[in-house]
């Protein structure tokens, strides 16, 4: 008998990050390439993979948060960072906004001793994601909208 349970797909609306209206950003997400592969991180308290990401701190722009989070979660020392798209979604019944960046990492240093316990390179999306529906939607958007070799 087939299951009647349908997978939950997040309601995410993507929009141009250069909109002229002020957007109350909460998150920066970084889809990262290093040596021709995708870099994913594993939190010290979880056994699942996730994209480098985090909350904006008080007074931070999404770009500043992305630069900080990329270093804190991967040890990236030299990289380019470009905004790709903004998104609107619902988290705990509250509307949230984030910006997705793509990073081309040229040099990794030691992994800082913050919350990330491991980084790994993959050719695509790894099995066992922390937030499978949302991270897959972000990753798929990047793949479909950028010519990445």
Give the bridge partners for 85, in sequence order. Answer: 100
Give the total number of structural domains in the chain: 1
Q: Cα–Cα distance between 54 and 82 in angstroms, integer?
A: 16
Domain annotation covers residue 55: yes
End-to-end CA distance of the chain: 42
Q: Cα–Cα distance between 106 and 119 in angstroms, integer?
A: 15
The CATH number given to whatever domain includes residue 105 is 3.90.79.10
pLDDT at 30: 98
Domain annotation covers residue 6: no
- pTM (predicted TM-score): 0.89
Q: What pLDDT digit, counting tens, does each position of 61-94 carry?
A: 999 999 999 999 999 999 999 999 999 988 888 8
Q: Cα–Cα distance between 82 and 100 in angstroms, integer?
A: 9
Q: What pLDDT digit, counting tens, does each position of 133-142 carry?
A: 899 999 999 9
Expressed as residue numbers, the domain containing 75 is 18-144
CB of 52 closer than 8 Å to CB of 74: yes
Domain annotation covers residue 105: yes
Domain annotation covers residue 52: yes
Q: What pLDDT digit, counting tens, does each position of 31-66 carry?
A: 999 999 999 999 999 999 999 999 999 999 999 999
Domain annotation covers residue 132: yes
* CB atoms inside a 10 Å sphere around CB 42: 19
Domain annotation covers residue 9: no
pLDDT at 60: 97
pLDDT of 114 > 50? The answer is yes
């Amino acid at each position: 008998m087939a299951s009647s349970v349908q997978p939950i797909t997040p309601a995410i609306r993507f929009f141009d990050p250069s909109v002229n209206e002020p957007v109350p950003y909460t998150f920066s997400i970084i889809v990262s390439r290093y040596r021709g592969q995708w870099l994913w991180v594993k939190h010290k308290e979880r056994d699942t993979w996730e994209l480098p990401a985090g909350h904006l701190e008080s007074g931070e722009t999404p770009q500043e948060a992305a630069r900080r989070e990329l270093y804190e979660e991967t040890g990236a020392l030299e990289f380019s960072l470009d905004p790709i798209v903004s998104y609107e979604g619902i988290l705990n019944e509250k509307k949230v906004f984030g910006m997705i960046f793509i990073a081309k990492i040229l040099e990794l240093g030691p992994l800082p001793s913050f919350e990330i316990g491991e980084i790994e390179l993959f050719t695509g999306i790894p099995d066992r994601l922390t937030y499978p529906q949302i991270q897959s939607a972000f990753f798929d958007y990047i793949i479909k909208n950028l010519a990445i070799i």
